[in-house]
Amino acid sequence: MSEQATAAHPAKNRRTLVGRVVSDKMRKTVTVLIERRVKHPVIGKTMTRSKKYHAHVEAGEFGLGDLVEIAECRPISRTKAWRVTRLLEKSKGV
């Protein structure tokens, strides 16, 4: 029965975002800044919109300035519902 249930319900496609780590001061948590470019509806100018997400990290392997991919997951705490899935680029500074 359980084999049929897992085959009938494959893993959900989770939202993934790519952003830069702007804070690593918390234990098991990093703050990731996501930037997106949108066109203004009236003026037509391309503008940059940004949002910060708290993402869960089991070990503190991600540092300030790293480019990471985060994926949506179940709520871990009041502000944390994302998990860092992989490191895309290590920070060049510091």
Q: What is the CATH number of the domain that holds 32?
A: 2.40.50.140
- Answer yes or no: is 40 within a domain: yes
Res 92: pLDDT: 86
- Answer yes or no: is 7 within a domain: no
pLDDT tens digits, one per residue of 40-67: 999 999 999 999 999 999 988 899 999 9
Judge whether residue 3 has pLDDT over 80: no
Domain span at 56 = 14-89
- Answer yes or no: is 94 within a domain: no
pLDDT tens digits, one per residue of 5-42: 455 555 567 899 999 999 999 999 999 999 999 999 99
Confidence category of residue 4, pLDDT binned at 50, 70, 90: low
CA distance to 19, 37, 78, 82, 84, per residue, from 51 (Å): 10, 12, 17, 13, 16
- Answer yes or no: is 9 within a domain: no
